[in-house]
A and B are shown apart, each in its own frame.
Chain A
Amino acid sequence: MAIIDMSPGEVRQRMMEDLRRALKRPMEKRRWAMVIDLQKCVGCTACTTACVAENHLPPGVVYRPVIEKEIGRYPNVRKNFLPRPCMQCENPPCVKVCPASATWKRPDGIVEIDYEKCIGCRYCINACPYSARTFDKGYYYSDGTPYIPEYEKKPAFEYGKVWPRNNREDSPVGNARKCTYCVHRLDKGMLPACVTTCLGDATYFGDANDPESLVAELLGSPRVMRLKEGFGTKPATTYLV
C-alpha cells in the first residue's frame, strides 16, 4: 500500500513490525534509518523535548533541535522547520578524528560514543558538519535554585546502560554526546522517543536494509534530500522535502 493511503495508525503499526522483524536479524544485517518529512513537520519541538527528557540531557546538550526559518515578505510569508538529529553518517567524520577510539560506528550503522572511553577533547564536535554533537559540561537545569531535584540525577539509559548523574564529573559529564537513535529503546522493541512523540507524524524509523520496511520504501521517494551531502558523509537520517 502506498504510504499516502495508509492511516497514521497503520504507519505506526508497520514501523513497530519493521522494528520487530529487524531485531530478529543479526545486528550487522541492520541499517537503522530515520526519515523526516519536512512537509509534515510543524516545528512543535515535541521531539526536541522528548529527547531531552528521554536521555536526561543537561543544559547545553541537545540532540534534536528544530531549526525554524521564516520565508518570504508580508503577506506572502511561510515558515519551514528542520529537525536535526544525528545523521548517523555512513562515513562519519566524527569517528575518524576521535583520538581515543571512543566513538565508533556500530554494525547497525549507529555511531556510538563510548562514554567510558571518551576523553572529552571535543575534536569530534568540531569535525561534525552538522553540529550534531554537544559537550556535557556538567550542569543541572536547577543550578541556581534552592536545590537540585532528584529527577536530574536519575540515570539515563543511553546505549542500554545506566548513567546516573550524581555529580558533576562522572560520565557522561565531560563527554561529547549526541543522538543515539535511542538504541536502548530499539533493543526493547520500542521506537525512538522523537518518533513516537512526533506530533506531525513526520518522523519515520526502521531498517533501511529491509526492503519490506516503511523507511526503505520512503528512501525511494523522489522527495528525498540529505543534508550537506557534499561532505561525503552519507547520512542515514534523510529528509523528504
Chain B
Amino acid sequence: MKKTISGLVWLIAIVGFVVGFYGLYQRITTGHIHTDYGSYIPWGLWVAAYIYFIGLSAGSFLLSTLVYVVRVEKLEKIGKLALFTAFGCLIAALLSIWMDLGHMGRVYRVVLHGNLRSMMTWMGILYSSYFLVILVELWFAMRVDLIKKAREGSGICSILSFGSTDTSPKSIQRDRKVLKVLGTIGVPLAIAFHGGVGALFGVVGARTYWHSGLTPIAFLVGALASGGALLTAIVYVWGPDRDREQFREMMKYLGKVVLALVLIDFLLEIAEYFVGMYPGIPDEAEPIKAVLFGKYWYVFWIVHVFFGVFVPSVLLFKNAVSQKVKNGAAAIAFAGLLIAVTFMAVRLNIVIPAQVSPEIEGLQYAFTGPGLEYHYMPTMMEWLVTIWVSSLGALLFLIGYTLLPIVNEEDREVA
C-alpha cells in the first residue's frame, strides 16, 4: 500500500516535473508575458505558492525542533524526515519566489544591498540563515548514517559526508549538542522568518486586508498546521514504521497536534473575517466578501472549509482523539494530506483578495492593459511553473529519501 503510494508520488512528481517544465521554459524565454498578475494585482499564484511552501517548511522545521530541542521521544525517529521535508519545501518556496522576480539575476542585491527597513530584505537575510541552519542541521543529523551508508558503498553519501568518518559515540553526542544548538537557533529563526513573511504582508498599510497585527500570528499558526499536516502524511508513507505500535502512537500524536493547530488557525480566520466584515467598511469588507461570496467562493467554502477543515477535523477527531479507532493511521495521514494540500487555498485567499479592490475607485476603467485588472486567474504557465516547482520539491525529497539515510533502513517496514 505504502509502496503504491510512494510509487504514485514518484509518478506524479516525474510527470509534474516533465509537464511543468514547459512552464519553466516559457517563463525563462518569455518572462512575465504569459502571467496574469501584473500591476493592480502584483502578486499571484507564485507568491501564494511561496508562502504556502515556506509555511510548510517552517511548520515541519518547527516540528523537527520537537525532536532536537524539546526531545519529544515519540517523534525521535522522524527528526531527519521533518528536517528534510522542511528542506524540500524551502527549495520549492525559494524557486517559486525567484520565478516571480522581474530580474532573477539581481536577487543577490537583496542581501548585498538590502534596505533594512524593508521586510523583504529581512526575509532575504533570514532565509539565507535558515537555509544554512537546515543544511547544517541536516548534515549533523545524518552524519553518522551518511558515514555508515558511505561505507556500504553509497557514493553520494561518501561525498556528502565531507570526509567525516568519526562515528564514535562521542561524536554522536557532539552532533546532538550541535543539533540542539542549531535547533534552538532555528526556532526563533523559523518563527521570525515565517512570522516575518506575515509581517511582510501585515505592514502593507495600503492593503487593509493584510494590514493587521494578527497577520504574522496567523501565518505562524498556519505554517504549523499545514507543515504539521504535511509531515503527518509523509510520516505515514515514508516514516519509520517497523515498530507498529510506536508508529501508531506517533501518528495519533501528530494527528492531535495537527487537529489543534488547524482549529486554532480556523479560529483566527473566523476572528479576522468577522471583525473585518462587521463594520462594513468597504476597504476591509470587500476582500473578505470576495473570498466568501465572490467568483471563487468555492475555493473558500469547498476547498478550504470543507476539505481543508471540516473533513480532516472529523477524520482526525475520530482517528486521533477518540480512542475508539485503533488503527487510524491511514485516515490521519489522509487528513494531513487534505489539510496540507488544501492549505494552498488559504494562501491564495490571503494573497489575492487583498489586491482585488481598486485603491481608487474607477481606476480599473481609466486605462486597461495586461496587469491592469482587479481580477486574477493564474495562467496555464503559472500553474505549470508551480507544478514544476512542487514536483521538483517532491523529487528532491524522493531522491533524497532514496539515496540518503533520512529514515534509517532498519526503521523501515520490510514489506
Contact = CB atoms under 8 A, between A and B. Distances in A.
Interface in A134-151: 134-139
A208 B102 CA distance: 35
Nearest to B203: A97
B102 A122 contact: yes
Given A62-B369, A67-B366, A130 B103 contact: no
Interface string B90-124: 00000000001111001101100111011111011
Which of B39, B113, B369: most chain A CB closer than 10 A? B39
B370 A137 contact: yes
Interface string A46-66: 001000000000011110011
A231 B124 CA distance: 27
A224 interface: no
Interface string A80-106: 001010000000010011111110000
Contacts of B359: 128-131
Nearest to B40: A131
Number of chain A interface residues as a range: 35 or more
Number of chain B interface residues as a range: 35 or more
Given A67-B363, A126-B42, A137-B38, A121 B101 contact: yes
Contact of B370 (A59, A84, A119): A59
Contacts of A117: 106, 109, 113
A30 interface: no
Contacts of A99: 109-110, 114-115, 118, 120-121, 123-124
Nearest to A174: B102
A130 B33 CA distance: 24
A199 interface: no
Contact of B113 (A100, A127, A131, A175): A100
Contact of B360 (A82, A127, A168): A82
A41 interface: no
A169 interface: yes
Contact of A120 (B102, B113, B366): B102
Interface string B352-363: 000100111111
A171 interface: yes
B35 interface: yes
Interface string B113-151: 111011111011000000000000000000000000000
Interface in B343-386: 355, 358-363, 365-367, 369-372
Interface of B: 30-33, 35, 38-40, 42-43, 100-103, 106-107, 109-110, 113-115, 117-121, 123-124, 200, 203-207, 355, 358-363, 365-367, 369-372
18 contacts: A60-B369, A62-B367, A67-B360, A67-B362, A99-B118, A101-B113, A117-B106, A119-B102, A119-B107, A126-B42, A128-B359, A130-B359, A130-B360, A137-B32, A137-B38, A138-B32, A174-B32, A231-B205
Interface of A: 48, 59-62, 65-69, 82, 84, 93, 96-102, 117-123, 125-131, 133-139, 168-169, 171, 173-176, 227, 231
